[in-house]
Each structure stands twice: as structure tokens, then as C-alpha cells.
Amino acid sequence: MTPRLPAVRPPVFRGRLHDARTATSIGRWLGVAIALCFGTGLISHYLQQPPGWLADVLPSRPVWGYRFTQGLHVAAGIAAVPLLLAKLWAVYPKLFEWPPLRSVRHALERLSVAVLVAGAVFELLTGLLNTVQWYPWPFSFVPVHFAVAWLLAGALLLHIVVKYPQIKGHWTRKSPGTVALPAVDGPDRRSFLTGLAAATGAVTLTTVGQSFTPLKAFDVLAPRHPDHGPMGLPVNRTAAAAGVAQVDSAAYRLMVAGPRPYTLTLAELAALTQYESVLPIACVEGWSKSAHWTGVRVTDLLRRAGAPSDARIRVVSLEKYGSYRVMEMGREYAHDPLTLLALKLNGQTLDPDHGYPARIIAPNRPGVLQTKWVTRLEVL
């Protein structure tokens, strides 16, 4: 006789670490982190690729705006990693509930949870790999990360609506859902949540110094350190990577195209009135640092070309490759007195990797739009 195998039953999980109170406690912080990522991500997206109607009204103040929002985006994304792992560990027993599908409504709810989990894992993973500039996938990062962010936001909203009764019942230790069990917040849950808070704090502390420079001494895990790079400032794209050969200062020309076009040599550019702006360079990948930039006001160059005071401009680089070779600038940036065609960084001639002989530096702008190796300004 063939021995009978025991019936396979779905695993049963019990305990405070897998209950709705734990899911709510972690969910609160995860929800805040994901909401911060979503809001600051939208800001970054529209600052980089504004639709036509927005391009001229995007503000150039506060000067540290993009530095703050993008630093927060990456910091919240990094903090969300331990929170997401802990949350998934706390709720995974729910995924083994039996029967797996009870009704059409239940099936739809499960589908939304699948989108939520997949979206959260995808966003955090791709975002993290983007900070180290590693793209091991066949699609373009920016549009896909942006599209999945909307899916995730929608799925999270739905999740909160569906779980609202449980969330309300377990929001605090004294919430109605938790009073029935007196020992409900016993030492094991407290230890787990304290450990999670410590892990989240540790990853934040060891990475946030890449943008919040008072904590740069603790920046040991972030891919960039704000002091490491040519002239003490990081660069994302070197001159070699951009295909810009050593620029011959005698041969260099800046062309300003407008109603009264003109060309300047480097010596002529340096002989114009020079201004200093203290502005951060704030990278989309999260690092940022403030520096002293010296150069010619872009608005002065435009006025000399006969540009109207509300003109939008196009900036062209000597770069051979790359999608940021040509950049457009709305009127708020182009005519801001702090926006410079910079020739010096912290009093020294620009290093080739920082855009020698001339680069754009403007307030409240993503680093990828601070075009280096500028050769042409066009009034649009």
C-alpha cells in the first residue's frame, strides 16, 4: 500500500510581529517615505522636463530648492529600503491566507497589493542603482521610474483606503483595535520597531551627508562624498566621458545668437564685468554642494545680443555625446542676476571636468542642466 502523504496546508502565522498593529506602525513611516519620494520626484521631473507652459514660470528661488528636494528624495528612498523590507516581512503571512481568492472584490484587492509590492520594490531598486549610475536593464531609467511612481502612488492610495478600518483600529497603542489585548505592544514588538528605527537611522546617517554637508563626516555608504572630486567638488561626467578634448583657449569662441548676434574669445569673455554667485551644484543622484562661482551674468550676455527681457534661451555645449548636450532655460533662470556663465570655481579657473572654459550655473536647477563646456547661447 502506498503511504498517504500528509495534506499540504498553507502555513499559519501568529504573533504580534505579523499582526495589523505592526503593519500599521511600519506602514505609517513607509507611507511618509513613499509620499516624500513621490512629491519630490514630481518636482525633479518637472524641473528637468517642464511642459511648455511651465518652462517660463519655474522659479529660480529659493536657490537651494532643488538641492533640498532632491537630497530629500534620495534620503527618503534610502530610508524606505529597511522600512519596506520590514513591512513585507511583517505582512507576508497574509499572502498565504486560504483560500487565496474569495470573491471578485478580493481578487481585485490582491491584484492591487501585487502592483503595490512590485511597484515599491521596483522604484526603490532602480532608484538605488541609479545613484551609483548602474543601469543593468534595457529600458531608459527616467520615463520608466516616473511612470511606475504613478502606479505605486495609485496602488498605495487604494491600499490605504482598503485597509482604513484596520489602520484606524491600530493607529496608536490605545486605538480601539488594540485595547482588547493588553500585552499587545509587548517587548517583542517594541524591540522589533526599535531595531527597525535604528537600522533606518543608521542608513540615513551614513548616506545623508552626501547632500546635507554638516553630516559629511558620516557619509561612508553614499556613492559620493561632497569633497571628493576635481577642485574638491564631485563630477558626474568627466570631459573624457563627454568626448570633449582639451579645449584650446586661443581657439575657443562663445557665440551668442539673437537679434544682434556676436562672438567672444575667452579673453574678451574674461574682460567683461565678472560677478560672484554662491550656488549649490545639486545632482539628480542625490549629492550636492555649495560653491563660489565667478563669471559673466547670462542676462548681460543676452541683453547685449538684443534679447527681450523675458526671452527663453538654448545653451549648446561642446559635448559630443549625451542627451544634455543642448539645454533650454526658461526666462526666470536666464534673467536671474545669479545665473552665470562661470569661468571660475572657488577662485580658480575651471577644471576641464567642471566645464572649462565656461559653464552654466543657475539657482534652483538640477545639476544635469548646469551645462558644461558652453560654446553657444541662442535667444529663442
| Interface residues toward ligand HEM, by CB under 6 A | 19-20, 23-24, 27-28, 30-31, 34, 87, 91, 94-95, 113, 116-117, 120, 156, 159-160, 163, 166-167
Q: How far is the CB of 183 from ligand HEM (least distance, A)?
A: 17
Q: How far is the CB of 160 from ligand HEM (least distance, A)?
A: 6
**72 vs 345, which CB is nearer to ligand HEM?**
72
Task: Answer whether 71's CB lies under 8 Å from 211's CB.
Answer: yes
**95 vs 267, which CB is nearer to ligand HEM?**
95
Task: Answer whether 358's CB lies under 8 Å from 254's CB.
Answer: yes
Q: How far is the CB of 73 from ligand HEM (least distance, A)?
A: 15
* Beta strand pairing call for 326-329 and 288-297: unpaired
**97 vs 268, which CB is nearer to ligand HEM?**
97
Longest Cα–Cα distance in the chain: 100
Chain-centre distance of CA 337, in angstroms?
Answer: 27
Three cell numbers written together for 59: 522659479
**28 vs 260, which CB is nearer to ligand HEM?**
28
Q: How far is the CB of 17 from ligand HEM (least distance, A)?
A: 11
What's the rounded Cα separation, in Å, for the pair 95 and 256?
Answer: 62
First to last CA, the chain: 88
Q: How far is the CB of 171 from ligand HEM (least distance, A)?
A: 8
How distant, in Å, are the alpha carbons of 19, 86, 286 from that of 14? 8, 16, 40
Chain-centre distance of CA 75, in angstroms?
Answer: 9
Measured in degrees and rounded to the nearest 5, phi and psi for residue 263 equal -130, 145
- Identify the DSSP state of 215: G
**27 vs 286, which CB is nearer to ligand HEM?**
27
Q: How far is the CB of 285 from ligand HEM (least distance, A)?
A: 22
Burial grade of 75 (CB within 10 A; 0-12, 13-18, 19 or more): buried
**31 vs 286, which CB is nearer to ligand HEM?**
31
